[in-house]
Chains A and B, each alone.
Chain A
Amino acid sequence: MRRAAAFLLALALSGLSGCSRALLGNYRNIEELQVIQTLGLDGREGGVFVSFSTGRDASGREVVRMGAEGESISGAMQALQGYSVSGELFFSNTGYILLGEEAARDAGSCLDYIERASEIRLDTPLFVVRGAEAGPLVTAGGGEDGGITEIMSSLERFIERRAAGYLPTCADIARSLARSGAALVCAIAPARAPDGDYLTAVSRGYAVLRDGELCGYVEGDAALAAAAFLGGAGEKYVEVDGMTLKLISCGARMEPVWDGGELAGLEMALEVQASVIEARSERDLNDEQERSALEEALAGTAAGWMREVLDVSQGTGADFLGLGAELERRFPARWRDISPQWDELFPGLEIELSAGASVLRSYGFDSPPSRAGEG
């Protein structure tokens, strides 16, 4: 009797599995789902425009793209669900979230939604579409044959390996906003593909959020210096003095300058290592003087990147590098005195920059024979 009761009760557990139709009607057949992979959010007058794109799956199903407006993100998603004719929309596999520039002006509300949403993971990378809306990119990106998800997937790899390097997720951004009041978000921009007539996206450095609102951008190679401080720059190619160098590593560190108990300023140092991969001007890299000159030029360029980053950071009053948090970690006792005035102190803080560079190799091609007779 007891065994039978225990068996029946254990069987009741099968009703709690997510794969069963038995209880609560939670069962969803994967073939009946539209698995959303890229989500776009745009700010509209009095509401939000939400767009999505599915990815191309192994069964060869066409990419589904759609957009709808609502008073809130959830409201727009509900409207999208109503329009969907080919299956239930499934947001749990969302791999990329794109914020149009207008939505990024109130990024805090979007992050609030993402933090609450049970479907969306916090480790999803977030992007700001610079100077444009996310909707057109999400619903038309990749043209007829492709999709925005494939574009974002290759862009993600590109940013991590060959561009700035640091690709913040929603969790990184929320954490930085909570601790430092500011954060960087990867910026992209819509562009026409050079070999076709379809819409694609290109990397455009970082967007700066302060107190959850968009307040500026870190552009070009300066993004490398920001990434170096936040987690490691990518192996980007940079042009210096007619040479193309591939960054091997780019590290940054900060030291405070104390005047008695007062914070008088900061010293920031950037250390860059690179390899020559292409030379458009003749330079014998076996010669130590020539090499030093190239290293100095690279160091000067790197210092310029850092200067640009700090100008944006201090100009907007957004401590997105987490300099305050770094001071707190290393000098907690002194930080207690500084922290109440940090927001006022930071924009005018004197920051001295230095940069060092080493050229590691030129791939066994130090004095090219093709140029042996030149000069």
Chain B
Amino acid sequence: METQGITRRQLSAVAFVAALTPSTRLLPGYCAAVSGHAAWLCPLAALPGALLIAACVCAVMRRRSPGEGLAAVALKLLGRPLGGALLAAYSLWLVFYAAFSLRSASSRFTVAIYPGTAPWPFIAVGAAMSLAAALGKVRALGRSAEIFKALLVLALALILAMGFAQLDAGALAPVTAEDALPVLRGAPPAMGILGLLLVNTAFIESDAPLRPGRWAASARWCALMALLCSLIVAVTLGSFGAELTAHFDLPFFTFVKNISVSGIAERLEALITAFWVFSDFVMCSLALTAASGALRLIAGLPEHPEGPGALSHGRWLTWLCAAAAGLTAAAIAPTDFVLAEYSERIIPALNLVMVAALLIPLTLAALLRGPAPPARSR
């Protein structure tokens, strides 16, 4: 029985819930701008790259011993100086990503539900909630992700069903061999999102039991997420066409604004936008948990502190990460133009660079050490 630690199903739920925000924010507009009518194929084209990342994570995590997550394996494989430096850099990136996630979530509120308001109240509440989650047990985050997943699947099913009911299939064509290059150019952001979640969930795995079948589970998750992202892009494209989709800041949420359940509800976007807070919360909490855990390991403290005290056993590092994320979020993008620049260019590029910078040396180190010992159940 896997009742003590976070289960694989919960890890998958964490990854699913966290992936929804970047997928819906970035992919429809970016893919439409780069690949036109063939944009819906971009997430599927990202699958080989995502599987490669999954294979690297699997190769590294085969070196895992009970109670270890990716951070501990990194220190084990690369040694404290190099592994520590790499982890410190990746932790800083995670704190920055958490800040971007908070700022981006606040923007959805200030645009869709509270037009004209300042983002800082949403940043402050988001940072405080994520701090509470990052201070708590990892399995609590997993359990909450399972609940959020059910709600978000329900909302997504409604959105996709309504989207397909009014979809203009002509807007998804033509797709020819000449679209191959644009489709490949549109694939990196989707690959980055899947890669980010594959890596970040590996950080919080120290609480999870060792079990075989990691590669199959990762591959299945990647395939399902690529398909879901493809459907998200397709319904947006089918509603607005590639040209118009590429012009909107947040085309998926503009599409959601048009959804109504005839005779029952005219405007659902505020409710659905509010549901997406769960995704922001999980993404931000995951980033803070992973970053603070890695920093504690570098400092020679327990990755997931036990025992009482809000600041003891290195918990102050979690406070520090959350405060840094909140302050960075408040300062990072004074206007939505700057935020769009981060969202569409800086963050996706930085994401791929950081995942590669972490995974390539770790994978090489894991492979150079020869075959890994067989996985054992704890």
Residues of A in contact with B (beta carbons under 8 Å apart):
1-2, 5-6, 9-10, 12-13, 15-18, 23-24, 26, 92-93, 115, 118, 121-123, 171, 174-175, 178-179, 325-326, 328-330, 332-333, 335-336
Give the residue name and chain of the B residue nearest to A328 (CB). Answer: B174
Give the residue name and chain of the B residue nearest to A122 (CB). Answer: B258
For chains A and B in complex, what number of residue pairs have CB atoms within 8 angstroms? 82
Question: Is the beta-carbon distance between B267 and A332 smaller than 8 angstroms?
Answer: no
Counting CB contacts under 8 A, is B128 at the interface? yes
What's the least CB distance linking A13 to chain B, in Å? 7
Question: Is the beta-carbon distance between B243 and A18 smaller than 8 angstroms?
Answer: no
Question: Is the beta-carbon distance between B258 and A16 smaller than 8 angstroms?
Answer: no
Question: Is the beta-carbon distance between B270 and A24 smaller than 8 angstroms?
Answer: no
Counting CB contacts under 8 A, is B254 at the interface? yes
Give every chain B residue within 8 A of A115 (Cβ-Cβ): 247-248
Question: Is the beta-carbon distance between A179 and B241 smaller than 8 angstroms?
Answer: yes
Give every chain A residue within 8 A of B370 (Cβ-Cβ): none
How far apart sit A325 and B176, CA to CA, in the bound complex (Å)? 15
Question: Is the beta-carbon distance between B132 and A9 smaller than 8 angstroms?
Answer: yes
Q: Which of B203-259 contact A (CB under 8 A)?
A: 239-244, 247-248, 254, 257-258
Question: Is the beta-carbon distance between B173 and A329 smaller than 8 angstroms?
Answer: yes
How far apart sit A9 and B136, CA to CA, in the bound complex (Å)? 14
How far apart sit A321 and B34, CA to CA, in the bound complex (Å)? 26
What's the least CB distance linking A188 to chain B, in Å? 23
Give the residue name and chain of the A residue nearest to B177 (CB). Answer: A333
Give the residue name and chain of the B residue nearest to A169 (CB). Answer: B258
Give every chain B residue within 8 A of A123 (Cβ-Cβ): 258, 260
- Residue in contact with A329 in the complex, picked from B170, B240, B257, B267, CB distance below 8 Å: B170
Would you list 21 pairs from A and B whose C-beta atoms are within 8 A, ordered by A residue? A9-B129, A16-B122, A16-B274, A16-B277, A18-B270, A23-B121, A24-B117, A26-B117, A93-B267, A118-B112, A121-B257, A121-B258, A122-B254, A123-B258, A171-B239, A174-B244, A175-B240, A175-B244, A179-B241, A332-B178, A336-B178
Question: Is the beta-carbon distance between A6 and B125 smaller than 8 angstroms?
Answer: no
How far apart sit A281 and B254, CA to CA, in the bound complex (Å)? 54
Counting CB contacts under 8 A, is B115 at the interface? yes
Give every chain B residue within 8 A of A328 (Cβ-Cβ): 174
Q: Which of B146-189 contact A (CB under 8 A)?
A: 170-171, 173-174, 176, 178
What's the least CB distance linking B284 to chain A, in Å? 14
Give every chain A residue within 8 A of B257 (Cβ-Cβ): 121-122
How far apart sit A219 and B248, CA to CA, in the bound complex (Å)? 33
Question: Is the beta-carbon distance between B125 and A13 smaller than 8 angstroms?
Answer: yes
